[in-house]
Amino acid sequence: MTEDANVVDKVRSDDGLDYEFLIIGAGVCGLYQLHRLLEIGAKATALEANSDVGGTWYNNRYPGCRFDSESYTYQYSFDKELLGEWNWSERFAAQPETLRYFQHVAEKFGLRKHIQFNSRVVSAVYNENNPSWLVTTAGGATFTTRFLMTAMGLLSAPTVPRFEGRDTFGGTSLHTFDWPHAGLDLAGKRVGVVGTGATGVQVISTIADKVKTLTVFQRDANWCAPLGNAPISEPEMAQLKETYDEIFERCFNSPNGFLHRPDRRISTDVSREERLAWWEELYGAPGFGIWLGNFRDTLMNEDANAELSEFIAAKVRARVDDPAVAEKLIPHDHGFGTKRVPLETRYYEVYNRPNVRLVDLMETPVERVTPSGITTTAEDIELDVIIYATGFDAVTGPFDRIDFVGENGLKLRDKWKDGPETCVGVQTTGFPNLLTCVGPQSGSVAANFPRGIEDIVAWMTDFAIYIRENGVTEVRANREAELAWVEHVREVNQEVLFTKTKSWFNGYNLNVDGGDKPRVLIYTGGAVRYRKRLAEERAAGYPSFEILTGDALPESS
């Protein structure tokens, strides 16, 4: 028992609950969090909606789905043996390989027997009499747990356009997130893809040469950059393993957990010739370098950003034969990198193919979906398949799809109606004992995901140890700390140009109610700053939280 000021009273035993910790989700985060909780001897489980582990890598099976983080940076770093035995076949591995990786992790650490599959959580209700959560699945199973942890993913609530007549389509239509496990034969089909974000770009590039015709329905154009994928040979893999310590160290110290770190220089520190030469190098190099490894002012200063955007626009013009099509593919509403940059493999060249057409929905919006295709204000387009690569109700969507009921009947979706408020990204007031491992305003989720996740899981696990050692039964975020954190996130986010754009980073999604207003979903202060903030919290004995122990419980509990 430690003597921290905010710990009141002491241990209560035999609480009659099913679990100490219940995690929602067995994806990238939930799987690792479960492993760590079991390792410290906690009674823990994970409820997973799917029939297997992997989360986003289980669901996203659309053609072309692959990493755009370097494979070897998108793996857990916590176990040397795991690192040593796993070989990546490509610099940016495709989805089946990634799913195999997470399946391997589940096997290796004996996690499957602690996961309840096919268990989609539909409600979680806080019990004020005995601080704990009653969790119910779609199948009607119920579980009680002292602490509830969320690891439902950031991008796991897919959304489709509200096109009139969408359900009348006579062919096959689907969201990329719901791609059938058996695959979908697109050969010889007239296919329409709606959406040109990171997902749409991967799908379009992959299927263009396999379908009869491909019609791309683009609303806002996106800035893309080359992925630079390549196989990893055996000697290269061996060499990579030799340098894993340096690789993880580099990611650890980069703001976003990627290999790519902002250049310390600002654009005007060098001549225009040197700038252009550096941009050529970055554009030709694999991964996010052109976005995240650029001069540090390119994502903060509008003039610097405009010059870089012009450089990228010239690349698009050089790669697309028809100048009119090239102009449509160049964004005019936002600068390069101020939204998530899709990485592509010969994406722009797709538009040079005779079977591919770009329909600019800004000029000719969709009027309706018909049984035979899509009607725009200009024409009827006949289709056999419509693929909606239209994104997600990001970050808070997965929370909204579960009926979280906290103290005094407060519903989380009501509390967060106008935007989430969190205490350092790990809890929200009114919802004691609910810990958000993956959730809004957490720095760990704005990073290369596994890197950020390892930070948050480490912190949560330390907190779990503290909870167990001190017999803590109740953890509640302080409202003042919550307000201070929300304000801090808002302020920090103002420093970067991305808050001026309409993308999921800022909570925009016109396919959902309320998605026309900005919300503070992401902390852009970076993983390093966030990690420091969490470490301070731990070192000071969790001052942003009120922490109660068992004997403080009412007699009736």
Q: Which residues bind ligand NAP (CB under 6 A)?
A: 66-68, 155, 161, 194-200, 202, 219-220, 340, 361, 389-392, 504, 511
Smallest gap, in angstroms, from Cβ of residue 195 to ligand NAP?
Answer: 3
Smallest gap, in angstroms, from Cβ of residue 35 to ligand NAP?
Answer: 23
Q: How far apart are CA 283 and CA 336, in angstroms?
A: 13
Residue closest to ligand NAP (Cβ): 197
Q: Which is nearer to ligand NAP, 68 or 482 (CB)?
A: 68
Among residues 17, 36, 26, which one has the least CA distance to residue 79?
36
3-state secondary structure 448-474: CHHHHHHHHHHHHHHHHHHHHHCCEEE
Tally Cβ neighbours within 10 Å of residue 291: 22
Rounded alpha-carbon distances, angstroms, from residue 72 to 80, 285, 298, 446: 13, 17, 27, 19
3-state secondary structure 316-368: HHHHCCCHHHHHHHCCCCCCCCCCCCCEECCHHHHCCCCCEEEEECCCCCEEE
Q: Which is nearer to ligand NAP, 200 or 430 (CB)?
A: 200
Smallest gap, in angstroms, from Cβ of residue 171 to ligand NAP?
Answer: 18
Q: Which is nearer to ligand NAP, 309 or 478 (CB)?
A: 309
Q: Which is nearer to ligand NAP, 385 or 405 (CB)?
A: 385
Q: Which is nearer to ligand NAP, 219 or 265 (CB)?
A: 219
Smallest gap, in angstroms, from Cβ of residue 293 to ligand NAP?
Answer: 17
Tally Cβ neighbours within 10 Å of residue 346: 14
Smallest gap, in angstroms, from Cβ of residue 368 to ligand NAP?
Answer: 12
Smallest gap, in angstroms, from Cβ of residue 287 to ligand NAP?
Answer: 11
Q: Which is nearer to ligand NAP, 514 or 543 (CB)?
A: 514
Q: Which is nearer to ligand NAP, 446 or 460 (CB)?
A: 446
Query: Looking at this protein, which amino acid is placed at residue 367?
Result: E
Smallest gap, in angstroms, from Cβ of residue 219 to ligand NAP?
Answer: 3
Q: How far apart are CA 451 and CA 472, in angstroms?
A: 29
Half-sphere exposure of 107 (CA within 13 A, CB side): 7
Quote the distance between the C-alpha of residue 162 and its chain's center. Answer: 23
Q: How far apart are CA 421 and CA 429, in angstroms?
A: 8
Q: Which is nearer to ligand NAP, 175 or 415 (CB)?
A: 175
Q: How far apart are CA 65 and CA 115, in angstroms?
A: 26
Q: Which is nearer to ligand NAP, 73 or 199 (CB)?
A: 199
Query: Looking at this protein, which amino acid is placed at residue 480?
Result: E
Q: How far apart are CA 269 and CA 74, in angstroms?
A: 33
Smallest gap, in angstroms, from Cβ of residue 424 to ligand NAP?
Answer: 23
Among residues 415, 411, 395, which one has the least CA distance to residue 403?
411
Smallest gap, in angstroms, from Cβ of residue 6 to ligand NAP?
Answer: 37
